[in-house]
Chain A
Amino acid sequence: MSPDGLNSFRAGPDETGRFGLFGGRYVAETLMPLILEVEQAYHDARKDPEFLRLMDYYLAHYVGRPSPLYFAERLTEHLGGAKIYFKRDELNHTGSHKANNVLGQVLLAKRMGKTRIIAETGAGQHGVATATFCALFDIPCVIYMGATDVERQAPNVARMKLLGAEVRPVTSGSQTLKDAMNEGLRDWVAHVHDTYYVIGTAAGPHPYPEMVRDFQSVIGRETREQIMAAEGRLPDTLIACIGGGSNAIGIFHPFLDDKDVEMFGVEAAGRGVDTGEHAAAIGGGTPGVLHGNRTYLLQDDDGQIVEAHSISAGLDYPGIGPEHSWLAQQGRVKYVNATDDEALEAFQTCAKLEGIIPALEPAHALAFVLRWAGKQPKEKLVVMNMCGRGDKDVFAVAERLGMPI
């Protein structure tokens, strides 16, 4: 495997924001000067010891890092194959890996002198994280959320409001994450001078895919140290769910040049990739341009974006981060998928066996673990990123299972 003739899978993006064919800066001219300003500000910030000190401080004392690497003994026993660890990013403050990225971007926004924050959210995890740091740093914030998601993720809507954010339901298009992102871009175009847009996943125009990946890579760096301490060697396999792909790139990236570490990204297959009702951009999409970057997308023959479907609002997105598209094309990461039903099954299995209620998003990664790990040798070391907790999903799952509450 040779990454596009480069020596490393970790060198991207290039100075134009590309990972091979993918990535770039496909935004309206009004936003372009601002995008370049964000890029410059980020490249300055990451070299600034004070910025890095603040990151470390809040990650340790506020987010609660490092998150544990936990040997899932009962699940391992139940499946009878590979030895399974969970990287427990669901224990972060705000309940998911999203805090890692939002902290970095809100500190950057402050550094840039921006006085207003906007964000899009699907499941509400990114919105909650953004509302949280905006409360902490006293910055007004507006969260765009598809009207469909406002309904199915009601607990997170309440959380955001309690944290002082204004939640604006988006009723255009399919009323989910992609439309919330369109609305975020529209807001930003109209408020370029004072507003910073905190994008929640490793997608969007350059520098977002790179910046979000860097902030999320703390997951992989910790995993590396923790597995060395626990097992004295690197893992054989990493597994993470993928919507836009920020938790996955966060755990994968520090290991990309360790050629013996195999990686699986698990996309949401919804009702099945064959049914057309899914959110598997790599599994069932083709390259295109949306939301500022070139990447794999669900689209029709005319280049119109097709609505995604997943039981998980956080994976219900017709695209994927551009670095994943490149890693797929290079064959470095294998992209697989799990259906709504498989994720629901995994959700329940994890709760019963490990006493951990996962979010529906990592339940997709777990679903792949359930179907795959039992066939692997016992010596095989696997780390799955448990990127969010399922409190927000409890009511929706109970309803789906016909459970009286």
Chain B
Amino acid sequence: MSRLSKRFAELKTQGRGGFIPFLTSCDPDPNTFKKILAGLPEAGADIIEIGVPFTDPAADGPSIQAAGQRALKAGATLKGTLEIIRDFRRTNNDTPIVLMGYFNPIYSMGCETFAKAAAESGVDGLITVDLPPEEEEELRVPVQNAGIDIVRLIAPTTDDKRLPQVLKHASGFIYYVSIAGITGTTSPTIDSIQLAAERLRKHTDLPLAVGFGIRTPELASAVSRTADAAVVGSAVVERVAANLDDNGKALPGLVDDVLHLVKNLADGVRINT
């Protein structure tokens, strides 16, 4: 059983939804990021989503764009990100890690090489933002052969006619993009998520995570009860940004403050269970 399946099964047993914080790899610098990453399971992250920085993140809002630029400036690479995950796995073998990024860094590394390296590092799932089902075969085949789940993005614009095609090779879980828009801008209503969850569950038995615009413990909690997990990205990344000095260097309290926010969000998900 994969780490992702195991984790969703555990959540089901506990009778609650999961909490998935998103952080950009190497934001604001590789060492600080490693410390945050190491503290996430303890703070209550059920699954960790790591964004791989890209110079041209066309689906991301200002907060995650800025995080990516900070990380690239600090020397972030796809290869370096996989090494950090490998280190994390030395002390944690339970918390699933999902990579989210754009295709070009992977394509540049080579799809086969990437799949092998990612599996060896302990990556459990992959979301490639700009790789719709129409284009994904060259990456999906090696990635799934390496035992990594292909997590599919489904948007409000994905109609019922298109859904079966999008779901065809999906595994691990489904990531519902809660708004037609970019990350961290407008927030969805819980009613719209309820409707979407009902629609999607007619088409798939995979667990359902919801992200984009989920910023508060209250909304995360509500979303996690409607779906199977809530993803919070921009709000977490903004907390990183709030703990930088004028030169963009991490202030001493950064790691604790980010983990504190993560704990608040995670506690929100655990209340009412």
Contacts and interface: CB of A to CB of B under 8 A. Distances in A.
A192 B186 CA distance: 15
Interface in B160-188: 162, 166, 177, 180-182, 185-186
A192 B135 CA distance: 21
A302 B79 contact: yes
B132 interface: yes
Contact of B157 (A24, A26, A192): A192
B78 interface: yes
Interface string B42-61: 00000000000111111111
B153 interface: yes
Nearest to A178: B56
Given A182-B57, A192-B180, A28 B104 contact: no
A158 interface: no
A24 B159 CA distance: 21
B105 A302 contact: yes
A377 interface: no
Contacts of A288: 104, 107-108
B158 interface: yes
Contacts of A292: 130
A179 B186 CA distance: 22
Interface residues of A, number: 36
A172 B156 contact: no
A10 interface: no
B59 A302 contact: no
A27 B53 CA distance: 17
Interface string B94-108: 000000001111111
B245 interface: no
Given A25-B132, A186-B182, A289-B104, A172 B157 contact: no
A331 interface: no
Interface stretch (A29-37, A95-103, A235-243): A29-37
Nearest to B165: A32
A176 to B, nearest CB: 12
A172 B134 contact: no
A182 B55 CA distance: 10
B78 A32 contact: no
A304 interface: yes
A275 interface: no
A141 interface: no
B65 A172 contact: yes
B134 A16 contact: yes
B108 A301 contact: yes
Contacts of A178: 56
A387 B60 CA distance: 35
A28 B130 contact: yes
A272 to B, nearest CB: 23
A26 B136 CA distance: 9
B267 to A, nearest CB: 31
A113 interface: no
Contacts of B59: 28, 30, 185-186, 189
Given A28-B130, A32-B132, A289 B103 contact: yes
B56 A24 contact: no
A113 to B, nearest CB: 16
A29 B69 CA distance: 24
A28 B155 contact: yes
B108 A189 contact: no
Interface string B65-97: 100010010000111000000000000000000
A318 to B, nearest CB: 9
A12 interface: no
Interface of A: 16, 24-34, 172-173, 178-179, 181-182, 185-186, 189-190, 192-193, 288-292, 297, 299, 301-305
Interface of B: 53-62, 65, 69, 72, 77-79, 102-109, 129-132, 134-135, 152-159, 162, 166, 177, 180-182, 185-186
The 4 closest A-B pairs by CB, nearest first: A303-B108, A303-B105, A30-B155, A190-B181
Given A32-B134, A179-B56, A186-B182, 10 more contacts: A24-B135, A26-B135, A30-B153, A33-B158, A34-B157, A173-B55, A289-B103, A299-B108, A302-B77, A305-B104
